[in-house]
Amino acid sequence: MEFNFKRLLARGPEIIEAERVFIKEIPLQEFGLTFIYVLLAGLWCVFSDDFFDNVMGLPMHSPALETLKGINFVFATSLVLYLVLRRAFRIRRLAEEARRLSQERFEAVALAATDAIWDLNLETKIVWWSDGMQKLFGYPPEEVSSKLEWWVERLHPEDKDRVLGAIQALGERGGRTWSGSYRFRRKDGSYASVLDRGFILADDAGKPVRIVGGISDVTEQRQAEQALENSRRQLRALSARLQWVREEERARVAREIHDELGQVLTALKINLDWLERKLGVRDNAPSLNPLLDRVVESTEITDSAIASVQKIASDLRPNSLDNLGLAAALEHEARRFEQRTGIACQVKLPAESLEVPAEAATAVFRIFQEALTNVARHAQATEVHATLQFEADQVVLQIEDNGRGIRAEALADKKAMGLLGMRERAAVLGGEVAIVAIQPSGTRVTLRLPRAATDTKFWAEL
């Protein structure tokens, strides 16, 4: 039934305008035709005297001839009056029929529509309501007042000023349409979420005189949207929880690898170095040379194992992030990226101290890390420029490469877990990540986070 309502709004102004033009043209048409009728009648009355004198053969000013002339004048003027009035009455009947048909169409649509149709006279502040007020909100016709205040009193207190202010602003700046969302009190006292739309009708001078519109009950739609939003927030909460658990697990594993396995390997290397020195002083025992070679080889393997352990621990959770801060961690990650890929990576850091909460520092580092990983995998770039700066109360990280640029389908790909992960990390902390292709080539990743970003607010709102 919303289609019928829209059709009403679309056809209503057309019908009213047609009637207005139709009625407006009547005086001009009538004036022209009346002038012709009077002219012809006047000419007939003037020249018919000679006609009657010659045809009848009666003496001038005879009673019979004068009577005939009087009858002729009365007949001519009566005929003119009849023609004029007949056409005027016919046009009036057509206009009244057009109004009646327009009103019937309006009322038929109002009865058939599921919306509550209304018609407001801006001069008298009188409102006509359709039966939709009972169907949607439970108000029987006898309880629905034609006064505008009746509708205003049933607006939700938190929405009243906003809605009335929007209507007043529309009247001040002009316009043809108005729409607004608010809460409207039902007869049982509960509130419905509604969408209200109106079409403004103006007079010939352009002054608004009426507003015709309809109210749709969108409570179920709003509830469905809220349920969907709640589901999204729950999924985001789950994602945030998994990220937090993963970071904790990474830090724990990194500490254990560094402390336990690193210490064991270090002790083993010390023992091998001691054994190598002991065997090396016995130059007069050639039979020990194979054993010395194995000790040297084992020492080298141990050195390689220690380097691998350090790399694994750093990949899991860099010590510089916890011990030296965000700036040192970003610089260290950039150097590791250069060594691993051969792609030049320049990092520009602010001169002031980077003091941000631990959650924000982790998010910035992980998004920087993921962006560099995407450059290495997909960009085919030769240079990367990264900038970290403070803007007002925000921390802004920007990474640009000179590669082939990200494609639109890649941005829209729901399976791009890396991009999704970056956005989710930022969203949990009240920030956002923007990824765009730049000209002539390359990709720009921009992260914006509140400078005091923590996940406390996110969990509190959830």
Instruction: Quick: pLDDT tens for 194-233.
Output: 999 888 888 777 778 888 888 888 888 888 888 888 887 7
- pLDDT confidence bin for 456, thresholds 50/70/90: low
Q: Tokens representing 249?
A: 């697990």
Half-sphere exposure of 210 (CA within 13 A, CB side): 15
Higher-pLDDT residue of 244 and 458 is 244
Q: Tokens representing 253?
A: 């594993």
Distance CA 341, CA 338 (A): 5
The pLDDT assigned to 447 comes to: 94
User: What does each C-alpha distance from 228 to 52, 223, 231, 412, 458 come to in angstroms?
Assistant: 95, 9, 5, 20, 17
Mean pLDDT of the 312-322 span:
71
Please provide the average confidence, as pLDDT, over all residues in the chain.
77
Mean pLDDT of the 173-201 span:
87
The pLDDT assigned to 233 comes to: 76
Whole-structure pTM value:
0.50
What would the 3-class secondary structure string for the chain be? CHHHHHHHHHHHHHHHHHHHHHHHHHHHHHHHHHHHHHHHHHHHHHHHHHHHHHHHCCCCCCHHHHHHHHHHHHHHHHHHHHHHHHHHHHHHHHHHHHHHHHHHHHHHHHHHCCCEEEEEECCCCEEEECCHHHHHHCCCHHHCCCEHHHHHHCECHHHHHHHHHHHHHHHHHCCCEEEEEEEEECCCCCEEEEEEEEEEEECCCCCEEEEEEEEEECHHHHHHHHHHHHHHHHHHHHHHHHHHHHHHHHHHHHHHHHHHHHHHHHHHHHHHHHHHHHHHCCCCCHHHHHHHHHHHHHHHHHHHHHHHHHHHHHHHCCHHHHHCCHHHHHHHHHHHHHHHHCCEEEEECCCCCCCCCHHHHHHHHHHHHHHHHHHHHHHCCCEEEEEEEEECCEEEEEEEECCCCCCHHHHHCCCCHHHHHHHHHHHHCCCEEEEEECCCCCEEEEEEEECCCCCHHHHHHC
What is the per-residue pLDDT across 3-53, written as a single tens digit (0 to 9) for each? 343 444 444 444 444 444 444 444 555 556 666 666 666 666 666 666 666
Contact call for residues 193 and 222 (beta carbons, < 8 A): yes
Pick the range with the lowest mean pLDDT from 16-25, 112-121, 169-178, 444-453: 16-25
357 CB-near residues (< 8 Å, 6+ apart): 452, 453, 454
Mean pLDDT of the 137-148 span:
89
The pLDDT assigned to 439 comes to: 85
Amino acid at 73: F
Contact call for residues 95 and 22 (beta carbons, < 8 A): yes
The pLDDT assigned to 355 comes to: 78
Percent of the chain with pLDDT over 70: 69
User: What does each C-alpha distance from 47 to 54, 62, 200 come to in angstroms?
Assistant: 11, 18, 57
Q: Tokens representing 2?
A: 């919303």
Distance CA 375, CA 362 (A): 20
The pLDDT assigned to 48 comes to: 65
Distance CA 124, CA 147 (A): 9
Distance CA 240, CA 462 (A): 12
The pLDDT assigned to 14 comes to: 44
Query: What φ, ψ does residue 209 adopt, rounded to 5°?
Result: -120, -25
Q: Is the pLDDT of residue 338 over 80?
A: yes
